[in-house]
Structure 1
Amino acid sequence: MQNRGHDVTVLTGLPNYPEGEIFEGYGIFKNRKQVINGVKIIRSILLPRGKGSGIRLFANYYSFAFFASIKAFFLGLNNRFDAVIVHEPSPITQYYPALLINKIWKTPVYFWVMDLWPESLSIAGGVKNKFVLNYYTNVIKKFYENAEKILITSKGFRGAINEKGNFDDKIVYFPNWAEDAISEGNKNFPIPELPEGFKVMFAGNIGEAQDLDSIMKAALELKDKKHIQFILVGDGRKMPFVKDFVDHNNLNDTISIMGRFPVEAMSSFFDKADVMLVTLKDDPIFNLTVPAKLQAYMSASKPIVAMLNGEGSENIIDAECGFTVPAGDYVGLSETILKASSLSADELRVVGENSRAYYERYFKMSACISNLESIISK
């Protein structure tokens, strides 16, 4: 957006995910204001999420909402913004600063929904209290009512949103795209040496939604197939579980935990993988979700192995760019990976080319940004 002549300001928080502590180099008096590629970055104070317990997450979410709203008020005094885009992978409380700007200065808000609430709070967060869930149902309904447009990353979100009110005329399908740093990135970016064998790579958030339990069970099924190597690139709340599972089941020979790397390294990692792995838990909310990593995998011309339901699986089948098994089917996943490992390099290359062709048609960044400009200009 900035490169196309728009004046962009980002209001965000002090970085603290996933470790739960404020990153080195940032703080109340450090790097609260930055300019990155011409974009003005304003970082609000917040309480770090710690180990992700309920109380700490609550404090993290609402401290950002409170302090960012104060910051938004003063930003609005000095800048009459034409539009506010709320980027919402989770939580919904980050809508509050945008709500304040809308109420005071009538600035239209475009709500980019990547995570359904309160469904996600119940399923991924484990919250079952009906009072809490009803409270957030009412909160999200007010946000939908306030938004100029509701942008959805998955077509399946439409029904879930309309269950909370008649918002159909506001809803616009607006999918994720892949970073240019991945699709056009440096394949020689320095990364650690990877093990020899058929490399099955999972890249991205290692959290509850990604069903690491089933991935680990599939790896255990393939424990004796030493030529199949699982490569995990990323970090998240489930990483302690993953490390314990690997150690307890003596899987260090077939599972490599690489840790977190900058997006610039992803092109190099992806290039060295034979297939890319995408998974989501078997749950109604996740059946409506298209994981953002799917577009990244496609942009890198990689064959995809998927253990998920719904629209994400349908995209892979439609594109003929990989292999899918139902969510939670770890036995089927292990069998599919074993089958994929028997394919020739030429067969895998054709599947990877299908991935790239589908990405070019539906998920290319330049086309998505043009679409966003069109949505806002209306």
Structure 2
Amino acid sequence: MSRSAISRWLLSFVPGPITVRWPERFRACLGALLGIAFTGGATHLLLGPSVGIPLLVAPMGASAVLLFGVPASPLAQPWAIVGGNLIAAVIGVACASWFASPVIAGAIAVAVAICAMFALRCVHPPSGAVALTAVLGGPAIHAMGYRFVLAPVAIQTAALVVAAIVFHAVTGHRYPHAGRQSADKGAAPAATSLGFTHADLEAVLRRRSELLDIDPADLESLLRETQLQAYARSFSELTCADIMSRLPIAVSTTTKAKVARDVLERLGVTALAVTDETSRVVGIVTRKDLVIKGPARKPGALADYWRRLFSGHSALSTDTVGALMTTDVFTADLTQRIVELVPVFTNHGHHLIPVLDASRRLVGMITQLDLISGLYRQTHTPRKLVE
């Protein structure tokens, strides 16, 4: 084995970063402090200073790590700790009485306890220590026999679970941590935006050869949120240059109104950008500007005005776009993110946004259709969850 291979193997033991924030870490430490103190106090209150019955058994410390440190884990749920500890205690006491060798008794007790916990769906790692405590706890524990299952194991387990439920409720955490279930269980399984159903996820998990310490519903929720985060990131990275029409149709300020109207009708658009002789955007002209504002600016006979209005023609060959355009126009830069344009279209009624380069010259145009098409393409483009 080469030195580099050995180095990579040794580096594989380096733990990954813990993403839990410090307030949550302190909350877990406080919960374990209060939980263990309550458990010991409850044992003393119920049993008194009984000789030979420990006020705290060591596995409760390991259980506290799960219940307060990782309360979302399936291994930390109430049935896991209660069922696991009681089953392991019974098996440990039985093995201690059946086998003279403590090593053989302990090995068999732990192995059988794991098998039973898998069968009863109450896998709880500290319960293995409960089985060993029943075997290796010494003469005082052995003298208790099956009473060890009730006191101290059952009493301390119940006290620790009660403490965890109360503590998490007071601090605003969800415990017991029930997986998120579908609101309509009778409905046919629908594919998520990731292209899989909950049944697909469960089928994959069943094919795995190891137990994952996460609820399937939580895993599905995590994947959904990851995909939403990926979409949010990709949308935030999408710029005007990615979706704009790169051959913008614009008219100059000296263009006749009739010509501009003909361009609008030929292209089937609702507005045109207006540029000066240096290709800088100075305004925007819409169908409404050309039909209604024209006759109003050059009053004539009342009958002629209504004829022009309802026929959709201004018939003002002398009017120019510069006289009819709106000069208060919203423009965007090439590198501007499109998420910033959504409120402009939705809240301010814009139908067209000119896109300018660094020299403030017109290089493109974004319509509502361009925006919707860009978002659609971004949503339906397959992308990896982990890059």
In proportion to residue count, which structure has more helix?
A: 2
- Pair member with larger Rg: 2
